[in-house]
Structure 1
C-alpha cells in the first residue's frame, strides 16, 4: 500500500522514515510512553532506527500496520499513531503523544482524521482501541474521538512479558456519519424481563 499523508488545520500525518529517527528516539525516552505502550524499555537508538527504517515502512508496504507520525506543519513531532489491520474489515488503533504536546487535543484530532481515512480508503468497518486499565489519558482520547467503551478484558494485553487487563472500545463508520463497506445489523435491545 502506498503511504498516505493526511492533513488537518493543525497537523500533518505522514509515514516516518530515517530522517525522523532522532525525534522518535528522543520522544520515546519519556517514562510514560515506555510505561503505557509496548515499546521496548529501555528504548535504545537501535529501536528507533529499526522502527523508522524497517517496521513503519514495511507495515505500509504489506498493508498490515499503517503508522503515521503526527507532526506540526513546521515539522515538530507531536505523537505517533498506528492502525493495525487485525482481520477482514477490522483494525486496531494505537497512539502516543510527546510529553510537551499533551493536552492540546492533537492526538484526538489525529485519531479522528486517521479513522475517517481508514473507513473511506482501507475498507475498515470497525476500529478497536485497547489500553491497559489505568491508562486514563489514552481512554480520554478514545472517548473524545467517539469510541464506545465496551468493557474490560482480563489478561488480554501483554506489556513487556506481563499479562494485564485492558479496556476495549470501538469506533464504527456510522459513529462518524460514514457508510460501512458491509451491512451491519446491530443486536436489537433485549425485551424487559417479566417481574416476578
Structure 2
C-alpha cells in the first residue's frame, strides 16, 4: 500500500520518516513507554533509527503493519509541530488487526491518543477490510485501557500469558472494536453468539420429537 496521511480535527497522522528519528529517540526515554510497551530498554538512538528508517517502512511495503507519527495541526509556541504520539495497526490473522500506541510524556491528558486511535480504527475498517480491531495491554496499564475504552473498545477479558515482553510472558487485557461500534458496515456479515443460539434453539424446536 502507498503511504497514507490521516487527519483529525487537531492531528495529522503520517508514516514515519527519517526526520522523526531524534524525536522518537527522545520520547522513548520515558520510563512509562519502556515499562508498558515492547520498545528496547534502554532505548538507544540506533534503536530509533532502525525503527524509523528500516522497520516501519519495511512493514508498510509488506502490508504487515502501518505505523504513523502523530503531530498537531497547530504549531507549538516555538513554531514547531512536535511528535505527540505514535500509533500503528498490525495484522496478526485474517480480517483482524491489532492497534498499538504510545504518547510522548509532555503531551498526555489532552485526548490526543484517543483522537488518533479513533481515526486509525476508522481507516482500518474502511480501507483494510478489517472486521475486528483488537487492543491488548499488560494487566495494570490503566492509561492504555482508559484510551481504548474511550474510543469504544469493549474489554472482553484477561488473557493469561498473552503478551511476550523482555523474555517473559505476561497476562494482558484484551479488548475489541467492531465496525458497527463506529457506525460502519462490516466487510463480512457478523453472527453474534446470542443470534446463533436463538437460531439453534429454533432449529431444535422445529424437529419432530422421538416417540
Corresponding residue for residue 181 of structure 1: 187
Tell me how far apart the structure 1 counterparts of residues 94 and 37 of structure 2 sit (CA, whole Å). 25
Of Structure 1 and Structure 2, which has the larger fraction of its residues in helix? 2
Deviations 1:118-173 (CA, angstroms, capped at 9, x unpaired): 10011011000000000000000000000000000011111111211000000000
Q: How many residues align?
A: 191
Map residues 26-175 of structure 1 onto 2, 5 A cutoff. 26-73=26-73, 74=75, 75-175=81-181
Q: 1:30, 1:72 → 2: CA distance?
A: 20
Secondary structure of the corresponding residue to residue 178 of structure 1: coil
C-alpha displacement of 1:106 = 0.3
Structure-1 separation of matches of 2:37 and 2:160: 17
What is aligned with 2:2? 2
How far did residue 36 of structure 1 move? 0.2
* Aligned equivalent of 1:194: none
Matched residues in 2 for 1:87 and 1:111: separation? 20
Partner SS for 2:67: strand
TM-score by length of 2: 0.88
Cα deviations by residue, 1:72-103 (Å, 9 ceiling, x for unpaired): 12421001001001112100000000001110
Q: Which segments of 5 or more consecutive residues in structure 1 lack a partner in the other structure?
A: 192-196
The runs of at least 4 consecutive aligned structure 1 residues that moved more than 3 Å come to none
Name the TM-score, length of structure 1 as normaliser: 0.95
Quick one: distance in 1 between partners of 2:178 and 2:161? 25
Query: Highest Rg: 1 or 2?
Result: 2
Distance in 1 between the 2:105 and 2:31 partners? Answer: 10
Superposed displacement of residue 59, structure 1: 1.1
Mean Cα displacement is larger for which, 170-179 or 73-82?
73-82
